[in-house]
Structure 1
Amino acid sequence: MLDWAELDPEKLERVAQLLVREACGATSVDGKGGDLAQDLRHDGPDGLTIYEVKSFTKRLNNSRQRQITKSLARAVELHAPRRWVLVIPLNPTPAELAWFDGLRGKFPDVELDWYGLDWLDGQIAGRDGLLSYVEGADSKLLRRAQQYNMERAALTSGADLTQRMQDLVELGATISPYWKWHFGDTPWGPGRILTAQRPEAADDDPVQLTPYFSFPPDDPEAQATAERLDRALRLGGDVDIPGRYVEDFRVTAASEATQRLLGEPRQQVAQLRLISIPDNTGLPLRGFLVLERGGGQSGLSVPFTFTDGVAGTHGRTLTGTDPSGLLEARLEIEAGDPVRGRMELNLKPLAGSYPHDVLPAVRLLGVCTAGDSLHFRRGPVTIASFNADAPAPEGLPGLHHLVAALEVLQDHLGTLIPVPAGPVPDEDFRELLAIARALSGRRARLPHTGLSMDLQPGAIGEFLTKVPEEPGALYGTQHSIDITLDGRRYDVPGLALWAPNVVLQNRAELEVLSADARAEAVATFSSPEDTGIFLIRAVDDPGPAYRRVVEMT
């Protein structure tokens, strides 16, 4: 049983408050600025109850009785409670009980109760955490535990291990009534997580982490780390500090029990990570990222939603994504006059995503260049504006062309075509762009200036009669063109070759071979470099601008 008389008065009152709060559902009143004669209060359906805690462990002499009476009178004057309860580590003597009955006569409108030693002992019985908190490192519980060396006992099964771990965790929760360690996996590996055991832990028994940093001025990495730390503290964020820059790290608790749980105040750290507490006030914030060029709207915009926020001493940082989840933005807003801001955009890897999902974001970034401006708008209202201070990253314009071409191709084929996981070979990339351009209704110039076609035996003479000797346009359809992306082959129908100015180069050779009905041959066409050969969308009627070569259809 707890010896209440040995306790420091402040700790005695603190423990008594904890017991009343848990047993009666009362709320503690912080008395640092004067508690107005109410250590705890409970507003119930039957009215207000005021609890007055006194640390008197010796008999109530005239002076102590006057203090109690004064507290009761002030509580009645200020709060008019229906019930007033004295909480004190004393059971009343007959004389003290008579005196307390006399108070009932002086305050007939208030129900008076005495929660004495029996009530307190009954509430704390079996509360090892509170006993450890009150008695400190020399508590009976800890002295008993030190007599055993159970952690060295042999383990014979997984069940023994599980039970031992569970028992140790339960015992660990008795070290402090406010806090405990939770052991588990974290994003950074196995770790201990300090967890509150009661909602008021942070207020009643705060834990303070105090790092001291040293950033040598002649160390560029140290200065960069210091800048990241300063930005995270001012605007919120997430920053890693290597241990070599942490000169000292102290972990202190308000109570001695929690300090025993935490260990020595000064601790060594190999790395320190500071993460701001989320502040999602006003979120989600939905709008559009709009690109402007030369003072006029470009017509390019992307739906965007800021979903998460953190706050610092001088501002706030918001993060969010576009609907695909692949375009991420970090918006820093710094308080001041005027308000200043900075936005960073990041495009995650696109492999496996579908072009129609990511094209709006890729197009916006791919065409953005230094001097353009980006605006975040909600309807007609501009929330924030930023100037692009650099051109699009290297490779992003090419990625834009790739994704745009894939969208055209998948729309034409009526099938989903994911963005390839690896780089597309240059030849395949050029062919894909040509196919997409042709399917979009524009002609795509091919990299060569000649065409050839196989002529079957017996067909050479008929072929020569259909091909004029003078240069002219040539139109030839193909059943399909195939292209391979990420190891998968796609057959693309509906395309044709068109050359506005070609001539049959080997006519003389073909005329000689035409006399032999069994001869096979290859017809070769050439085109001047200034005219070229193009891939276009096939048409039902080429019209007078084309000369159809029957054998090429």
Structure 2
Amino acid sequence: MSLIEWTRLPGETVEDAVAMLLCSENFEATQVRPGRGDGGIDVFVPTAPNFSGRDVYQVKRYAENLNSSQQRKIRRSLNQVVETAKKQGWTITSWWLVLPLNPTPGNIAWFAKMTKELPFKTHWVGLNRIEFLAASHPQVVDYYLRDGRARLQEQTDRLVGLLSGRHDRSKGDPMAPIDIIDDVRDVYRLINQYDPFYRYELSLTAEPPSQSIAESSPPGLVAVAGYGSNDGWVNVSIIARSLAATIEKPVTGHFTVSIQGDDSALSDFRKFVEYGTPVALPAGFAKVKLDLPGGLGGHEMDGLLRLSPATSGLENVTERELIIAMLTPESRPLAELELSLMEVTEGIEGGRRTVWIDSPGFVEIEMLSKKYPEITLNFKISVDVGGKRPDDIVSSLEFLANLHGSNIMGLAQAFGPRKFTVGTIDSEREQDPDFSRFAKLAKAIRSLQKHTSDRLLFPRVFTGEQALAILEADRIMSGESVTATWSGFKVDRDPSSDPSEWVKFEVGDEAELRLIRDINFELDGQTYVVGKQAALMRGVVSEVTAESVRFEPLDKEDQATLVRFDGEADTGRVHSRRVDEK
């Protein structure tokens, strides 16, 4: 025997109830209201971004064996869905016929013949599946098919009885948290038993509800109502059981805003109106009244008001990457960044706002436009280079190093030839020397990474001397020569070698010297060796003994030339010869 007498119910009631059962089973399901523009769709579930792919559910009221007229109506609805998808440019990933009727062999043959040429999967959802959904979501059945008001009154009576007092606690016994566990659980069960559209979650806090409650709640949160005082707060999170619930039973209300004496708050609110920029107005600037589900709300509130657009707008955007470049006044590229789209909003007055961010998260750009191509760019810069991979941050640092009033800015798509739409930068914006230094250092570390298997990361702390050592190491490893001052040093003769092979130095002789050394530098307390260098010097002999020779610079201005050395000589090896030696 069926749980529900489907054949005795009005057809529209059957279709509404079954559609809501489908939506309750899948949160992302969307119910399309009947009408000329429904395209033969009762419910659909998106299967691809921007609703470009959809599972389509066609709900029919038929609860007895199909006649030829009903079969024609089903076929007409199917054809309408196919034509709608073609016209609107989306793909049907599957089509489901949903009705409170299990198919007969004849129905199966007819259905197979009707759908055999279709390029997508088709399914018959019959009575058994609908009965299962009804058993899983009794609040939907109660609301649409039975006397929901009677059940609601029963629920209220039980709740009053529950709260009227316990019978197993002796007078005078102290209250402990464990004493109310069962009661609170019963309250939660009762308040969520019969509402087919929303469910309610309770929390008890010392402070009024904060943004963290919204951030930690599951999908579908529409509001958090807080009731309390300094003695404590009871917070009720109102959560839609499905997206269709917000359409069938939307949250309504109104608010009034009056901002005086705060230019910053007024400017932020104007950006919300013009571009949809989220705004938080301090207490005293707004009064709100909401008619919330569950009898909540209904009175005017004065407090912090956060306003955000209903949707992000990302679902309608296909290109989510953008190139922004710094250019010379002659439009020669200096540095460029690839940005990713993070947020899209639109204001009541038609302005559009997009928020873009670079890969390391250093640069966030807010673009505001009311009349294209006029665009205002607002930069939010937050640089934390310590511990980052140089590859990931070089482009951002070079961009920031060139972000000043002497240059211009260009925007281009992320693929194909670079065709920049250019704009000016605030002429008073000066170059930030820190970004220039960081960019040079990151490029040097990135280059040096090719010469060591140790992972090189941008240092969290470094001195100017350490930075110069890194830059110098990169120049030498890249094939450049570097000059440096040097002071006298003593070279010990090799006692194992033949003395006849030693250079016959005398005090005052001029000599050419080559000293082999490691190319090393320090990052966060660890020393890295990336190669060898030869220090080429010209000096004078200041002391000669049987065991050693000491060399000094010819004069104070005499410098050593440092070059990359790829030979076999060991580090510390000194090669020398007299200048007059042929």
TM-score range, shorter chain: 0.5 to 0.7
Q: In structure 2, do the counterparts of structure 1 residues 132 and 212 end up closer, same or farther at CA, with 3 Å as the change threshold?
A: farther
Computing the radius of gyration over CA atoms, which structure comes out larger, 1 or 2?
1
TM-superposed deviation, 1:440: 1.9
Report the secondary structure of 1:143's partner residue: helix
Alignment of 1:356 with 2:391, yes or no, is yes
Report the secondary structure of 1:296's partner residue: coil
TM-superposed deviation, 1:540: 5.4
TM-superposed deviation, 1:411: 1.1
Partner deviation per Cα, 1:230-263 (whole Å, 9 max, x = no partner): 2233223333333x3434222224xxxx261x23
Question: 1:377 and 1:330 mapped to 2: Cα distance?
Answer: 15
Give the alignment of 1:263-302 within 5 angstroms.
Answer: 263-270=297-304, 272=306, 274=308, 277-280=311-314, 281-298=316-333, 300-302=335-337
Question: Are the equivalent residues in 2 in contact too, given 1:450–1:527 (CA < 8 A)?
Answer: no
Aligned match of 2:447 in 377, 394, 408? Answer: 408
Alignment of 1:441 with 2:476, yes or no, is no
Question: 2:539 and 2:180 mapped to 1: Cα distance?
Answer: 90
Question: 1:487 and 1:387 mapped to 2: Cα distance?
Answer: 43
Alignment of 1:456 with 2:487, yes or no, is no
Partner deviation per Cα, 1:154-179 (whole Å, 9 max, x = no partner): 89998994x76554333233575433
Alignment of 1:336 with 2:380, yes or no, is no
Question: Are the equivalent residues in 2 in contact too, given 1:207–1:251 (CA < 8 A)?
Answer: yes
Equivalent residue number for residue 234 of structure 1: 274
Report the secondary structure of 2:505's partner residue: helix
Alignment of 1:380 with 2:394, yes or no, is no
Alignment of 1:201 with 2:245, yes or no, is yes
TM-superposed deviation, 1:433: 1.3
Q: Which amino acid aligns with 1:249?
A: V
Report the secondary structure of 1:224's partner residue: helix
Q: Which amino acid aligns with 2:423?
A: F
Question: 1:164 and 1:522 mapped to 2: Cα distance?
Answer: 93
Question: 1:466 and 1:130 mapped to 2: Cα distance?
Answer: 115
Alignment of 1:418 with 2:452, yes or no, is no
Alignment of 1:170 with 2:176, yes or no, is no
Question: 2:338 and 2:372 mapped to 1: Cα distance?
Answer: 29
TM-superposed deviation, 1:279: 0.6
Aligned match of 2:347 in 303, 308, 312? Answer: 312
Alignment of 1:142 with 2:156, yes or no, is yes
Question: Are the equivalent residues in 2 in contact too, given 1:329–1:344 (CA < 8 A)?
Answer: yes
Q: Which amino acid aligns with 1:388?
A: I
Q: Which amino acid aligns with 2:260?
A: P
Report the secondary structure of 2:162's partner residue: coil
Give the alignment of 1:7-406 within 5 angstroms.
Answer: 21-23=16-18, 46=71, 127=142, 134=149, 139-149=153-163, 161=181, 167-174=186-193, 176-182=195-201, 186=213, 193-208=237-252, 210-217=254-261, 222-242=262-282, 244-253=283-292, 258=293, 260=295, 262-270=296-304, 272=306, 274=308, 277-280=311-314, 281-298=316-333, 300-306=335-341, 308-313=343-348, 314-322=350-358, 324-336=359-371, 338-344=373-379, 346=381, 348-378=383-413, 379-380=416-417, 382=419, 384-389=421-426, 390-406=429-445
TM norm structure 1: 0.62
Q: Which amino acid aligns with 1:172?
A: I
TM-superposed deviation, 1:400: 0.5
TM-superposed deviation, 1:467: 8.8
Q: Which runs of 5+ in 2 are unaligned?
A: 1-9, 21-30, 37-58, 63-69, 75-137, 170-174, 204-211, 218-223, 225-235
Q: In structure 2, do the counterparts of structure 1 residues 125 and 317 end up closer, same or farther at CA, with 3 Å as the change threshold?
A: closer
Q: In structure 2, do the counterparts of structure 1 residues 205 and 124 end up closer, same or farther at CA, with 3 Å as the change threshold?
A: closer
Partner deviation per Cα, 1:270-315 (whole Å, 9 max, x = no partner): 5636466211112343343333102232253333443542322332
Question: 1:273 and 1:43 mapped to 2: Cα distance?
Answer: 42
TM-superposed deviation, 1:126: 7.4
Q: Which amino acid aligns with 1:22?
A: A
Report the secondary structure of 1:436's partner residue: helix
Question: Are the equivalent residues in 2 in contact too, given 1:342–1:386 (CA < 8 A)?
Answer: no
Q: Which amino acid aligns with 1:537?
A: R
Q: In structure 2, do the counterparts of structure 1 residues 503 and 211 end up closer, same or farther at CA, with 3 Å as the change threshold?
A: farther
Q: In structure 2, do the counterparts of structure 1 residues 302 and 463 end up closer, same or farther at CA, with 3 Å as the change threshold?
A: farther
TM-superposed deviation, 1:24: 7.4
Report the secondary structure of 1:430's partner residue: helix
Question: 2:386 and 2:421 mapped to 1: Cα distance?
Answer: 31
Q: Which amino acid aligns with 1:263?
A: G
Q: In structure 2, do the counterparts of structure 1 residues 363 and 226 end up closer, same or farther at CA, with 3 Å as the change threshold?
A: same
Q: In structure 2, do the counterparts of structure 1 residues 537 and 308 end up closer, same or farther at CA, with 3 Å as the change threshold?
A: same
Question: 1:125 and 1:181 mapped to 2: Cα distance?
Answer: 16
Q: In structure 2, do the counterparts of structure 1 residues 496 and 131 end up closer, same or farther at CA, with 3 Å as the change threshold?
A: farther
Report the secondary structure of 1:248's partner residue: strand
Equivalent residue number for residue 62 of structure 1: none
Question: Are the equivalent residues in 2 in contact too, given 1:210–1:249 (CA < 8 A)?
Answer: yes
Question: 2:186 and 2:554 mapped to 1: Cα distance?
Answer: 88
Paired residues, what number?
422
Report the secondary structure of 1:353's partner residue: coil
Equivalent residue number for residue 535 of structure 2: 497
Q: In structure 2, do the counterparts of structure 1 residues 339 and 47 end up closer, same or farther at CA, with 3 Å as the change threshold?
A: farther
Question: 2:300 and 2:164 mapped to 1: Cα distance?
Answer: 29
TM-superposed deviation, 1:355: 1.3
Q: In structure 2, do the counterparts of structure 1 residues 376 and 526 end up closer, same or farther at CA, with 3 Å as the change threshold?
A: farther
Equivalent residue number for residue 476 of structure 1: 515
Report the secondary structure of 1:465's partner residue: coil
Partner deviation per Cα, 1:17-65 (whole Å, 9 max, x = no partner): 767610578975589xxxxxxxxx969863569xxxxxxxxxxxxxxxx
TM-superposed deviation, 1:342: 1.7
Question: 2:255 and 2:285 mapped to 1: Cα distance?
Answer: 7
Q: In structure 2, do the counterparts of structure 1 residues 19 and 159 end up closer, same or farther at CA, with 3 Å as the change threshold?
A: farther
Report the secondary structure of 2:332's partner residue: strand
Question: 1:175 and 1:467 mapped to 2: Cα distance?
Answer: 106
Q: In structure 2, do the counterparts of structure 1 residues 457 and 383 end up closer, same or farther at CA, with 3 Å as the change threshold?
A: closer
Q: In structure 2, do the counterparts of structure 1 residues 532 and 226 end up closer, same or farther at CA, with 3 Å as the change threshold?
A: farther
Question: 1:29 and 1:437 mapped to 2: Cα distance?
Answer: 72
Report the secondary structure of 1:148's partner residue: helix
Deviates further, 299-308 or 367-376:
299-308
